[in-house]
Amino acid sequence: MLDKLGAVGIAGIVVSLAGLGVIAYEAPLIAAGVALVLAGLGLAAFAVVRNLLSSLGMGAMV
Protein backbone atom coordinates (compact mmCIF):
# COMPACT_ATOMS: atom_id res chain seq x y z
CA MET A 1 0.00 0.00 0.00
CA LEU A 2 2.77 2.46 0.83
CA ASP A 3 4.32 2.11 -2.63
CA LYS A 4 1.04 3.35 -4.16
CA LEU A 5 0.96 6.47 -1.99
CA GLY A 6 4.29 7.90 -3.01
CA ALA A 7 6.44 10.28 -1.02
CA VAL A 8 3.82 13.02 -0.79
CA GLY A 9 1.15 10.62 0.46
CA ILE A 10 3.45 9.20 3.12
CA ALA A 11 4.43 12.71 4.20
CA GLY A 12 0.75 13.62 4.46
CA ILE A 13 0.06 10.63 6.69
CA VAL A 14 3.04 11.47 8.91
CA VAL A 15 1.97 15.11 9.25
CA SER A 16 -1.62 14.08 10.03
CA LEU A 17 -0.48 11.63 12.70
CA ALA A 18 1.89 14.20 14.19
CA GLY A 19 -0.91 16.77 14.38
CA LEU A 20 -3.21 14.22 15.96
CA GLY A 21 -0.47 13.42 18.50
CA VAL A 22 -0.15 17.08 19.45
CA ILE A 23 -3.91 17.34 19.93
CA ALA A 24 -3.98 14.08 21.92
CA TYR A 25 -1.27 15.38 24.23
CA GLU A 26 -3.44 18.36 25.15
CA ALA A 27 -6.99 16.97 24.88
CA PRO A 28 -7.48 13.22 24.29
CA LEU A 29 -11.26 13.45 23.78
CA ILE A 30 -10.89 16.11 21.09
CA ALA A 31 -8.18 13.99 19.46
CA ALA A 32 -10.57 11.05 19.26
CA GLY A 33 -13.11 13.24 17.50
CA VAL A 34 -10.53 14.57 15.07
CA ALA A 35 -9.36 11.01 14.35
CA LEU A 36 -12.93 10.00 13.51
CA VAL A 37 -13.29 13.01 11.22
CA LEU A 38 -10.02 12.16 9.44
CA ALA A 39 -11.09 8.54 9.03
CA GLY A 40 -14.43 9.65 7.62
CA LEU A 41 -12.77 11.98 5.14
CA GLY A 42 -10.43 9.21 4.06
CA LEU A 43 -13.32 6.81 3.50
CA ALA A 44 -15.27 9.45 1.58
CA ALA A 45 -12.28 10.22 -0.66
CA PHE A 46 -11.79 6.50 -1.27
CA ALA A 47 -15.44 6.11 -2.24
CA VAL A 48 -15.30 9.08 -4.62
CA VAL A 49 -12.18 7.74 -6.34
CA ARG A 50 -13.62 4.24 -6.53
CA ASN A 51 -16.88 5.49 -8.08
CA LEU A 52 -15.03 7.73 -10.51
CA LEU A 53 -12.78 4.91 -11.67
CA SER A 54 -15.68 2.48 -11.99
CA SER A 55 -17.64 5.00 -14.08
CA LEU A 56 -14.66 5.21 -16.41
CA GLY A 57 -14.50 1.43 -16.67
CA MET A 58 -11.47 1.03 -14.42
CA GLY A 59 -13.26 -0.17 -11.28
CA ALA A 60 -11.07 -3.25 -10.92
CA MET A 61 -8.00 -1.07 -10.35
CA VAL A 62 -9.10 -0.08 -6.83
Q: Is residue 16 packed enough to be buried (19+ CB in 10 Å), middle (13-18) or exposed (0-12)?
A: middle
pLDDT at 60: 72
CA angle, 18 then 50 then 10, to 5°: 25
3-state secondary structure (DSSP) of residue 27: coil
In the structure, what pLDDT confidence band is assigned to residue 62 with cuts at 50, 70 and 90? low
Chain segment 6-60, per-residue pLDDT in tens: 788 888 889 999 999 999 999 999 999 999 999 999 888 888 888 888 888 887 7
CA torsion, ordered 10, 11, 12, 13, to nearest 10 deg: 50
pLDDT at 6: 77
pLDDT at 32: 93
